[in-house]
Amino acid sequence: MNDELRSRNHTPFDGTMEALSKWLVWLACSATILIAVERGYEGAWYQLGTMIHRPEMAPPAFGYRLLFPFFAARLERLVPALTDHNSFIATQVPIIALTVYLLGKWASLFLRKFGWLLGFSMAALMLCPTIGYWTFYDIAITGFWTACLLLLYDDRPVSYLLVFALATLNHENILLLVPCAVLYFWRHLKPWKLALFGAAQILAWCCMRYMVISIVPAGPVFDSRVRYNLTFWRNYSLHAMFFSAMILIPWWMLAFKGWRYAPLILRCAALSFPGLILVTFLFGKFDESRQFDAFIPTTIGL
C-alpha cells in the first residue's frame, strides 16, 4: 500500500530534482578535492617543470609516470601562456571529476539507493586528507583502479586490459591488480583462457614499462626504501605516523566489518592490500597515506 502511494505521489519533477541533487553533490565533491589539490605544494623532489619538460632529470621512479605530464606538455604547446602550475591543474580537473564519478558508480553497485551520493562523498572524504605535495598520478591511481574493477565486475576483460595498459603509464602499482583479476575470473573462464588473460596483463604491463623506460632514460626504475623502513625509529616522526594512521585505519576498520557481506569482486580486490603494504615497504613511506590511494575503491565497496 505504501509503495502504491509513493508511486502515485512520485512525479517526473521529483525524478529531475533527484538527478539534479546527484550531480550537484558530484560537483561539490569534485570541487572540494580540487581545492585540496590547489592548497597543496610543490615538493623539491617533484618539480612540475621537471616532470613536464625534462622527466629524464626527475628523481628515480617519478620520471617514468608520464601519462599526465605528457598531456600537460601538449597543453602548454597549444597555449604557450600556461604556466606549469596551470597546466598541472588543468590535467587534474578531468581526473578528479571522472574519479569522483567512477567511485559513485562503484558504490551504487553495493548500495542501490544511496550509493552514488555515498561514493561521491567518500571520494572527497578519503582523497582530500592524502593530498600534500603535488603529483600528476596520485588521484588518477584511484580513478584507474576503480575503472578496472568496474570492468571486471561487468565481465569485460578486453576493455579491462586496455585500461590496465593505459594505467601502467600513470603508475606501475596497477600490476597488483593482476592476481585480483585472475582470481575473479577463476570460475568464469576456461583454464587456457584464464592463463591467457593473466599472461596478457603481464605482457601489457611489461610492454608499457619497457616503452617508457626506453623513451625516457630517467635513471633507476625504482627507489629502494627498504633500509629507510627497516630503521623506522630513526626516520619516522610519531606526529607524522599518527596522522597517517588516523587517515587510514578508521576506514580500514569499517571495511573489515563489511568483509562478511562482501561479494566476490570485493574479496578479490582486497587481495591487493598485502601487495600495497609490501610495495610501500620496498619503495615508499608509511607516513604518506597517499601510498594506499589504490585501495580506496575497495575500502568504499567493503
Residue 115 contacts residue 108 (beta carbons within 8 Å): yes
Considering only residues 270 and 4, tell me which one the structure prediction assigns the higher pLDDT: 270
Query: Which of 75-89, 190-204, 213-227 has the lowest average pLDDT?
Result: 213-227
Query: Cα angle at 181 between 279 and 269, to 5 degrees?
Result: 60
Average pLDDT over residues 139-153: 98
pLDDT digits over 204-244, tens only?
Answer: 999 999 999 988 876 778 888 999 999 988 999 999 999 99
Supply the pLDDT for residue 60: 83
Cell (9 digits) for 296: 580506496
Average pLDDT over residues 199-208: 97
Residue 211 contacts residue 220 (beta carbons within 8 Å): no
Residue 138 contacts residue 131 (beta carbons within 8 Å): yes
Cell (9 digits) for 168: 601502467
Residue 11 pLDDT level (bands cut at 50, 70, 90): low
Supply the pLDDT for residue 14: 63
Taking the C-alpha atoms of residue 221 and residue 205, their distance in angstroms, rounded to an integer, is: 14
Residue 206 contacts residue 166 (beta carbons within 8 Å): no
pLDDT at 43 over 50: yes
H or E segment and range at residue 43: none
pLDDT at 4 over 60: no
Supply the pLDDT for residue 73: 96
Supply the pLDDT for residue 1: 47
Q: Supply the mean pLDDT for the chain.
A: 92
Average pLDDT over residues 258-271: 95
H or E segment and range at residue 177: helix 177-184
Render the burial of 151-188: b for 16+ CB within 10 Å, e for the rest: bbbeeebeebbebbbbbbbbbbbbbbbbebbbbbbeee
Taking the C-alpha atoms of residue 187 and residue 146, their distance in angstroms, rounded to an integer, is: 22
Supply the pLDDT for residue 5: 45
Sign of CA dihedral 289, 293, 298, 301: positive
Supply the pLDDT for residue 70: 95
Average pLDDT over residues 146-164: 96
Q: Tally DSSP H helices, then E strands, for the chain.
A: 16, 0
Considering only residues 146 and 7, tell me which one the structure prediction assigns the higher pLDDT: 146
On the 0-12 / 13-18 / 19+ scale of CB atoms within 10 A, 4 is: exposed
Considering only residues 92 and 3, tell me which one the structure prediction assigns the higher pLDDT: 92
How large a percentage of the chain has pLDDT more than 70?
95
* 62: three-class secondary structure by DSSP: helix
Residue 245 pLDDT level (bands cut at 50, 70, 90): very high
pLDDT at 12 over 80: no
